[in-house]
Structure 1
């Protein structure tokens, strides 16, 4: 079971910001700052029961949250299971099969993320609590500006993803069925194709109002799945950009560490900086451990989805664009986290350490040595998230596309 522990040999959390801080500074707007950072993910994830801070530790609260999760998961299965049966046992048109498999992959990714959030809820709750504590215990106005800058970047990524996802996926679920050729029944009546062609073994909804209720129900459930994807993505972006800002704050503190000419004060400041560095590394490492399966499913799944959507490029251009942006942003924030952690070593080397006494200069090497092992995000421990990984996804999807074109 996960324990709320911090790296060993660190200053206690109560005294963490005692050094290199403005003792007169206090962030009175921390509640508004926290609300700005987590509002989107909290709004999207709380209704489906997987927001890390949703619910309490009481027995009744746990039961209610579990009921909420079971209901949402049952709705997802009600949509996806008949869709899978139709795809692999009923559908005969291979070109049509290729198009709907993309939707299945997208929804399967949502299920993987859904259960990853549930399985790692304690770790993700700890990360969210640490995020809130960081905003409340900001050491100076300069640190707050760094945190706001990174929070804005995460917010921009989130809004871009939400806009493209809803703008690309909802038309796929609503407009495409309405403009598709009608289904002609044996009695010469016509039906609008369902957003998700499905085969219900024990129930065949062909008559009104059952068919209309199923049509609307599929749209609503697909919207829940889309909100699940968007909410989890928003929370991930928030977490990772906060990890980036922790490393950036360490860089800022390093630049002023040499202002203390007294050895005792220098050692205290250095200990505080090392503690902050360890906290940033621990935070990033916990995110990587908790979310690497999500990153793997996202990168692998999006590669396949891009391949299938490229096959119908004209029809699915908006949806294809949203998936490309999704993969790019995840790769970019992984690259940024690695870059920020590496800059700690560069920043330490750029200090005037050669003017320090030998013992004090050697103490700085602790930070440099540790920074040589950068914090990274991986896709299932197989490869790191980076811009190089994004290029590999694009190239791989193009290779799969050529294979499909040769086969179909």
Structure 2
């Protein structure tokens, strides 16, 4: 029979452990105004400003790209099909963003559950189980962020460095990373090109963050739940002990049931 968990309660610094667990999603959610804010007026104003800025950046790339695909008669079918990929990505990211905004309250409750779980840890074995799950969640979140951001930004920079757009007098100019409807703004001239290039890069960061956030929030929360289930399995493995009194076994059974119900919530 496996040895039981230590019975001597130990007080850990649960705040540091909680921060270690949720830190990656805070980095991702706060810039796009998804991270739950407190009642502070300053934080609420900052969150609203970030929200409006993110919406503006998404629209500033989504609408000109759509107009370029559907209204620009100078583009051939192959070019329009090529530009449709980023357009669909921006459209899906917009839907994901709306979904995340509608579930900010759920994210807040999940974070509160994580904090309460870390606060309830009193055994070294339980803390090690939760830290192991937190490391996996952090790895998935950080790896996803690095992989997506580096890949998309590399593509954007490569596109900007390519001379593939020719205007009058056989002068070649740099193209924008994503399609843009020239009747809105003449991006062949400076500083219009530089402004739109910067806006599209910032828009890319927002869209990437939305896509990554959907994955990272899931990974962090799911891995935390896995850690709680592993603790529950450990409690069940050590539940039966022939040398223990009946009343103490009933007490352990109550602890197992309570932990199980908490995991289900």
TM interval, short-chain normalised: 0.7 to 0.9
Q: Does 1:126 align with 2:126?
A: no
> How many Å apart are 1:36 and its aligned residue?
1.9
Match of 1:43 in 2: 27
Residues in 1 aligned to 2:51 and 2:224: alpha-carbon distance in whole angstroms = 28
Residues in 2 aligned to 1:198 and 1:242: alpha-carbon distance in whole angstroms = 43
Q: Does 1:182 align with 2:167?
A: no
Structure 1's unaligned 5+ residue stretches are 1-19, 283-408
Contact 1:147 1:245 in 2 (8 A): yes
Q: 1:239 aligns with which of 221, 226, 244?
A: 221
Q: 2:7 aligns with which of 10, 22, 35?
A: 22
Contact 1:76 1:221 in 2 (8 A): yes
Match of 1:82 in 2: 64
Residues in 2 aligned to 1:274 and 1:97: alpha-carbon distance in whole angstroms = 58
> How many Å apart are 1:200 and its aligned residue?
5.4
Match of 1:269 in 2: 252
Q: 1:105 aligns with which of 79, 88, 108?
A: 88
- Provide TM-score, normalisation by structure 1: 0.59
Contact 2:60 2:199 in 1 (8 A): no
- Aligned pairs for 1:204-243 within 5 A: 204-243=186-225
> How many Å apart are 1:241 and its aligned residue?
0.6
Structure 2's unaligned 5+ residue stretches are none
Residues in 1 aligned to 2:157 and 2:213: alpha-carbon distance in whole angstroms = 21
Contact 1:26 1:137 in 2 (8 A): no
Q: Relative CO higher for 1 or 2, CA cutoff 8 Å, sep ≥ 6?
A: 2
Q: 1:169 aligns with which of 152, 160, 163?
A: 152
Q: Deviations over 1:354-389 (max 9, x none)?
A: xxxxxxxxxxxxxxxxxxxxxxxxxxxxxxxxxxxx
Residues in 2 aligned to 1:151 and 1:104: alpha-carbon distance in whole angstroms = 35
Match of 1:146 in 2: 129
Residues in 1 aligned to 2:50 and 2:84: alpha-carbon distance in whole angstroms = 28
Please, what is the CA RMSD of the aligned residues?
2.3
> How many Å apart are 1:216 and its aligned residue?
2.4
Q: 2:78 aligns with which of 95, 100, 121?
A: 95
Match of 2:17 in 1: 33
Q: Deviations over 1:270-321 (max 9, x none)?
A: 1221121122122xxxxxxxxxxxxxxxxxxxxxxxxxxxxxxxxxxxxxxx
Residues in 1 aligned to 2:111 and 2:214: alpha-carbon distance in whole angstroms = 13
> How many Å apart are 1:169 and its aligned residue?
1.1
Residues in 2 aligned to 1:194 and 1:175: alpha-carbon distance in whole angstroms = 10
Q: Secondary structure at the match of 1:76?
A: helix
Q: Secondary structure at the match of 2:121?
A: coil
> How many Å apart are 1:61 and its aligned residue?
4.4
For these two proteins, the number of residue pairs brought into alignment is: 259
Residues in 2 aligned to 1:241 and 1:108: alpha-carbon distance in whole angstroms = 29
Q: Deviations over 1:8-32 (max 9, x none)?
A: xxxxxxxxxxxx773431112x222
> How many Å apart are 1:96 and its aligned residue?
2.8
Residues in 1 aligned to 2:41 and 2:141: alpha-carbon distance in whole angstroms = 34
- Aligned pairs for 1:346-361 within 5 A: none
Residues in 2 aligned to 1:46 and 1:158: alpha-carbon distance in whole angstroms = 15
> How many Å apart are 1:145 and its aligned residue?
0.9
Residues in 1 aligned to 2:169 and 2:224: alpha-carbon distance in whole angstroms = 61
